[in-house]
Homo-oligomer: A and B are copies of this chain.
Amino acid sequence: MLTGHNFIGARESAVGTKTFTGVNPTSGEDLPTTFTEATVGEVAEASALATQAFDAYRDTRPEQRATFLETIADEILALGDELLERASDETALPASTRLTGERGRTCNQLKLFAAVVRDGSWVDARIDHANPDRTPFPKPDVRSCLNAIGPVAVFGASNFPLAFSTAGGDTASALAAGCPVVCKAHPAHPGASELVSRAILAAAKKTGMPDGVYSMIHGGNDAGLALVNDPHIKAVGFTGSLGGGRAIYNAAAARPEPIPVYAEMGSINPVFMLPGALAERADTIGAGLADSITLGVGQFCTNPGLILAEADEATQTLVASTVNALNESADGTMLTAGIHAAYEAGVSALATKTERLTESGQAALFQTDAPTFLSTPELSHEVFGPSSLLVTGTRAELLKIAENLEGHLTATIHGTEEDLASAADLITILEKKVGRIVANGFPTGVEVCHAMVHGGPYPATTDPRSTSVGTGAILRFARPVCYQNLPDALLPPALQEANPEGLNRLVDGNRT
């Protein structure tokens, strides 16, 4: 069924000469189907078509757009085992467990955004009524709501070939906001990307969406930068490495018209182990920690890469429990040969500067002390994979490490009620450093819900004001537009006096 073509809207196109294949990371062998990278011309065609589709798409009624999103979920499910098997062949992630679960998450995410669109109140409708009698100047009628920002470029992640890729959170939230999407398929799972793109395009056709509401191109850095630099593109969603995200951010900031870039670039997700919790249940915490470190072969943005604990006996129990579990964990195939090589290099570098506590298997726990950590900046760099670094020190030293943290997606605290009650100073620091603070859990497992924040200060992301998971993600692809003294019939339905969509609105400063 795969053709290896790009999709300029519904039209397949493959005029370029550069080709590549998917690779099975387990066997190292090429997978069937040759994919053709998009030319700069094809990138421009897709972006221009997205702009052509924009007016018709942003004018779709909430019900139509919600049905489109739900139909995408249906079409993805209808791909059946072919999708799970191809994605598994391309990523080495197990089809029957992980990818089945990830598909469910992807479809539920689309349905959650459909519910948000149908509810409609996300547009933050605000109405300030006129007062013609005000002196010295009459007060005009002023109304505003969020409008779709324009065509969005989406760069899928390698580590979630479904939930953070082609029809993942960025695409779902951009489409929900009313923005056409041009997706650059991740070259590590081009087959899964094509299949999911076919599902999106089938849903667009079934629900009567304009051609160009979705396009998908294959390619590397050149195609990606051409997409970011295309004047039709008005925002970018990206999940991946710091280097890749920063390059895209820099390109977007240097455009004649700079555009917002939402790059989620991962982090090392510090975990603070407070003494009471360790005294009470170091064994259990260690086992849970090892599970979190090795989940998905450690290839999660929220992987706990830094453990902080005071140097006491209970910490030794934590170490023993974690190391034991890590030593017993099965090695896994990583997503790509490049990721595997980077992991090996990262682990080797850590071994030269810290003490390796685990045996020679894949999963690794290292240990160092706070002064060494504070004086060795490289130890703060993310090692993408099933590795973590334990830093021991006094409470004051650990607080200093917290103060010195760069931005992270998450920070976790394990503590008894008493521990936590006396950790207000730590929480105050972490609120400035991360997008999400987790108590007595593990950072992996990002709930898709209204209150989730999967984001954080740089370098976790390029935009600390945003989340890439949860319904708040829709706000990334919208901007407010204000209407002054317009006749009611010409206002968007969200702002019409009769409130035909039944939205929650801010009217003269009061919630209605």
- Interface pairs (5), CB distance under 8 Å: A128-B452, A142-B451, A437-B483, A439-B485, A440-B485
Contacts A421-B490, A463-B260 given; indicate if A450 touches B482 (C-beta within 8 A): no
Known: A149-B465, A447-B484, A452-B482. 11 other contacts (CB 8 A): A126-B450, A139-B449, A140-B441, A144-B472, A253-B258, A258-B458, A420-B486, A421-B490, A423-B490, A437-B483, A440-B485
Interface contact A464-B149, CB-CB below 8 Å: yes
Interface centre among A137, A450, A484 (most CB of B within 10 A): A484
Chain A contact residues, CB within 8 Å of chain B: 54-55, 59, 101, 115, 119, 121, 126-128, 136-137, 139-140, 142-144, 147, 149-150, 249-250, 253-254, 257-258, 260, 406-407, 417, 420-421, 423-424, 427-428, 431-432, 434-441, 445, 447, 449-453, 455, 457-459, 462-467, 472, 478-487, 489-490, 504, 506, 508-509, 511
Chain B neighbourhood of A452, CB < 8 A = 128, 142, 144, 482
Chain B neighbourhood of A119, CB < 8 A = 509
Contacts A144-B453, A452-B144, A482-B437 given; indicate if A258 touches B511 (C-beta within 8 A): no
Q: Which 6 A-B pairs have the closest CB atoms?
A: A453-B482, A253-B253, A126-B451, A436-B482, A128-B449, A144-B451
Q: Of B121, B140, B435, which one neighbours A480 at CB under 8 angstroms?
A: B435
User: A420 to B488, alpha carbons, bound, how many Å?
Assistant: 11
Q: Of B142, B149, B463, B504, which one neighbours A449 at CB under 8 angstroms?
A: B142
Closest to A440 in B: B485
> Oligomeric state, in number of copies?
2
The smallest C-beta distance from A429 to any residue of chain B, in angstroms, reads: 9
Closest to A487 in B: B420
Chain B neighbourhood of A465, CB < 8 A = 149, 260, 478-480
Interface centre among A101, A119, A506 (most CB of B within 10 A): A506
Interface contact B439-A481, CB-CB below 8 Å: no
User: A445 to B138, alpha carbons, bound, how many Å?
Assistant: 11
Interface contact B137-A445, CB-CB below 8 Å: yes
Closest to A137 in B: B445
Closest to A409 in B: B482
The smallest C-beta distance from A377 to any residue of chain B, in angstroms, reads: 12
Chain B neighbourhood of A436, CB < 8 A = 481-484
The smallest C-beta distance from A475 to any residue of chain B, in angstroms, reads: 8
The smallest C-beta distance from A511 to any residue of chain B, in angstroms, reads: 5
User: A128 to B253, alpha carbons, bound, how many Å?
Assistant: 35
Chain B neighbourhood of A439, CB < 8 A = 483-487, 490
User: A407 to B478, alpha carbons, bound, how many Å?
Assistant: 15
Closest to A104 in B: B136
User: A421 to B253, alpha carbons, bound, how many Å?
Assistant: 39
The smallest C-beta distance from A269 to any residue of chain B, in angstroms, reads: 12
Closest to A484 in B: B438
Interface centre among A424, A434, A438, A465 (most CB of B within 10 A): A465
Q: Of B115, B140, B435, which one neighbours A482 at CB under 8 angstroms?
A: B435
Contacts A451-B482, A490-B420 given; indicate if A511 touches B509 (C-beta within 8 A): no
Interface contact A485-B450, CB-CB below 8 Å: no
User: A493 to B439, alpha carbons, bound, how many Å?
Assistant: 17
Interface contact B258-A428, CB-CB below 8 Å: no
Closest to A449 in B: B128
The smallest C-beta distance from A100 to any residue of chain B, in angstroms, reads: 11
Interface contact A484-B260, CB-CB below 8 Å: no
Closest to A54 in B: B432
User: A115 to B479, alpha carbons, bound, how many Å?
Assistant: 24
Interface contact A447-B480, CB-CB below 8 Å: no
The smallest C-beta distance from A440 to any residue of chain B, in angstroms, reads: 6
Chain B neighbourhood of A438, CB < 8 A = 484-485
Interface contact B490-A424, CB-CB below 8 Å: yes
Chain B neighbourhood of A509, CB < 8 A = 115, 119, 450
Chain B neighbourhood of A481, CB < 8 A = 431, 434-437, 453
